[in-house]
Amino acid sequence: MTDLGIELDSMGDLTRAPAGDSLPGFLRGFAGRIAREPFAHFVLLGAALFFLSHYLEERSRFTRITITRQQVQGIAENYRLQYGGLPSVQQLDTLVDNFIREEIFYHEALKLGLDADDEIIRRRLVQKYEFLQQDLASPAEPTESQLLDYYHQHLDQYRRPQTVTFTHVYFSTDGRGENQAREAAQTLGFSLNLRGLSRAVDEGDRFPGTYDFASLSGEELARVFGKEGLAQSIFDVEPNHWSQPLRSGFGWHTVYVSARQPGEQAAFDEAREDVRRDYIESERSRRNAETIAKLRRSFEIVRQ
């Protein structure tokens, strides 16, 4: 049997009080024997060292402030970016002292619990954690097979929109009024068709933009003329013919459509970069959702 086993057996014997001894007397004797046992000294010393280490570690969290060379370089670089040159030795000393002062205040604020129940701090921590999760959730570069699968599963995302090429003449409702502007557009459109003209920028009122547009999609038209009226109706205009009056956010127009291209499916090779971008974003969103779901399972949510 090892020495440790002998000592354990010896301590076991110590715990058995002789039949004739009273309990207080036995305890005094037991304490005296424990005080003379080396193994008991070892256990007590280990416990004392453990608690002392724990105390010093907790205390150092609020008393030790370490300034590394990298931090000093970062302080100097921030100064250079802000003022266009590196700080002098005296300026750098002052900046480092200010950094230490902020660190002291930061640790003291944590000791007082000033970070608790602060909505601004809460939002900032949530934001930083979200950024961290987004970085961790970044997927690996997709393979060609994965991109092809994603492309075929989302074909509608990679259709070229229909486009229209046209010129127009504008009539302002501010200067003419609603009804007169519309009538003027109708009259001019009829006249231009009779004369066989395909462009008439000198007619009508001055438009605050260009008169000729090439291959515009419905979305692009909406950004120029507004979502209602012209941006939607122009795709029904007969090509090579001046239209009936069309309303936009500016006023009334008659338009001459010279070309209209129908929407069509973009080939994979043409849409590859868009597919790659969408695939990576989709995978990142999926991984983030899985992470959130996993985190929720580790919490007990109580609604009161």
**Measured between alpha carbons, how far is 255 from 212 in angstroms, rounded to an integer?**
10
Is the predicted pLDDT of residue 163 greater than 60, yes or no?
Answer: yes
Instruction: Tell me, yes or no, whether 276 and 296 share the same domain.
Output: yes
pLDDT of the residue at 24: 58
Is residue 44 in some structural domain?
yes
- 32 and 169: one domain? no
Q: What backbone torsions phi and psi does residue 201 show, to the nearest 5 degrees?
A: -70, -15
**pLDDT grade for 185, boundaries at 50, 70 and 90:** very high
Q: Are residues 256 and 186 in the same domain?
A: yes
Does any domain span residue 236? yes
State whether 197 and 58 are in the same domain.
no
Is the pLDDT reported for residue 282 higher than 70? yes
Which of the four pLDDT bands, split at 50, 70 and 90, describes residue 100? confident
* Residue 49 in this model has a pLDDT that exceeds 90: no
Statement to judge: residues 178 and 212 lie in one domain: yes
Q: What would the pLDDT profile of 291-300 be if each residue is shown by its tens digit?
A: 888 877 877 7
What is d(CA 164, CA 232) in angstroms, rounded to the nearest whole number? 11
Residue-wise pLDDT for 4-14, tens only, equals 343 434 444 44
Per-residue pLDDT, 77: 93
Burial of 79 (0-12, 13-18, 19+ CB in 10 A): middle
In a domain, 256, yes or no: yes
Tell me, yes or no, whether 73 lies in a domain: no
Task: Indicate if 258 and 292 belong to the same structural domain.
Answer: no
Q: Find the CATH number of the domain harbouring 207.
A: 3.10.50.40
pLDDT category at 3 given cuts 50, 70, 90 is very low
- Regarding whether 18 and 35 lie in a shared domain, the answer is yes
Check residue 15 and give its pLDDT.
44
pLDDT of residue 203: 95
Q: Could you tell me which residue, 27 or 213, shows the higher pLDDT? A: 213
Cα 39 to its chain centre, rounded Å, is 58
Please report which confidence band the pLDDT of residue 20 belongs to, taking 50, 70 and 90 as the band edges. Answer: very low
Residue 76's closest CA among 64, 90, 58? 90
Q: Do the domain assignments include residue 109?
A: no
Instruction: Give the three-class secondary structure for 46.
Output: helix
Whether residues 224 and 297 fall in one domain? no
The total number of structural domains in the chain stands at 3
Residues 249 and 294 in one domain: no
Domain that holds residue 292: 121-147+266-304
- Is the pLDDT at 165 greater than 90? The verdict is yes
